[in-house]
Amino acid sequence: MGRSYDCGIGPAFAVIGGKWKAAILWELAEGPVRFGELKRRVQGITEKMLIQQLRELERDLLISRTVFHEVPPRVEYALTEWGIRLNVALGPIADWGDSYAQTMEISSPV
């Protein structure tokens, strides 16, 4: 990362920025997931984008990648301790987002 930040929100958002990373982290919350299953769970993501996001999450030490040397080869992704802690922090943000979305649907003119 190498940048300096005024508060902890900067580095947190730097590693989860964008549309897909939080969704990927959320899908890994219950345990290791194979690539194909992860692609099915994160609806709308392309294979290329999923690969890119997984590489960045691994680089940022939020997930681990385990390769099983068997035929056919199998790869599983799992949260690291940093990823688990980030998911815990994202829980209240997800709750806020749900409440906000519901409020906006109710109060938005049709």
Question: Residue 74 is part of a domain; what is its CATH number?
Answer: 1.10.10.10
Q: What is the pLDDT of residue 105?
A: 83
Of 80 and 98, the one with more pLDDT: 80
Neighbours of 56 (CB within 10 A): 18
Q: Does residue 15 lie in a domain region? A: yes
Residues 6+ apart with CB under 8 A from 64: 58, 77, 78, 79, 80
User: Which pair of tokens denotes residue 89?
Assistant: 């922090």
Q: Does residue 3 lie in a domain region? A: no
Q: What is the pLDDT of residue 4?
A: 73
Of 96 and 106, the one with more pLDDT: 96
Is-contact 25 86, C-beta < 8 A? yes
Mean pLDDT of 20-43: 96
User: Which pair of tokens denotes residue 61?
Assistant: 């030490």
Q: Does residue 2 lie in a domain region? A: no
Q: Look up residue 74 and give its DSSP letter.
A: E
Question: Which domain range does residue 30 map to?
Answer: 9-107
Q: Does residue 1 lie in a domain region? A: no
Residues 35-92: pLDDT tens digits? 999 999 999 999 999 999 999 999 999 999 999 999 988 999 999 999 999 999 999 9
